[in-house]
Amino acid sequence: MTVSIGDLRIRLALQAPLTSADGGGGVTTAWSLVAEVWAALHPISGSETFEADGLRGRVSHEVWIRYRTGIEPKMRFVLGTRVFEIRAAIDTGERHRFLRCLVEERIA
């Protein structure tokens, strides 16, 4: 699947984690806005599992954006209350034109 510039119609917030010591031997994570990007969002698959005595859903998506450096699997995209954890970022065709990000959305 490929996309064109006209397919990038959704505005996503790209966020990176900021960790700091919590004073009790652990860490806290806050999210910092890196950029707002235009994207195409395409669902791929979904599943349900039992986690912590509850049913949880996961949906895999492809997020297509214009090529940019510095995107890593520890980052995420946010659309309103929806959170898409980045699993991989692929420079399609190695042409530095588009970036295909494989993401996972967790549904409570």
pLDDT digits (tens, 9 = 90+) for 68-79: 999 999 999 999
CA-only gyration radius of the chain, Å:
15
Compute CA 83 distance to the chain's CA centroid, rounded to the nearest angstrom.
7
The pLDDT tens digits for 13-51 are 999 999 988 888 888 999 999 999 999 999 888 766 666
Superfamily of chain region 5-107: Bacteriophage SPP1 head-tail adaptor protein (2.40.10.270)
Other C-beta atoms within 10 Å of 60: how many? 16
- Residue 34 has a pLDDT of 97
Per the CB < 8 A criterion, the answer to whether 90 and 28 are in contact is: no
Domain ranges of the chain: 5-107
- How do residues 47-59 score in pLDDT, each as one tens digit? 666 666 666 677 8
Exposed, middle or buried, 91 (CB in 10 Å: 0-12/13-18/19+)? middle
Q: How far apart are CA 14 and CA 76, in angstroms?
A: 6
pTM of the model as a whole = 0.83
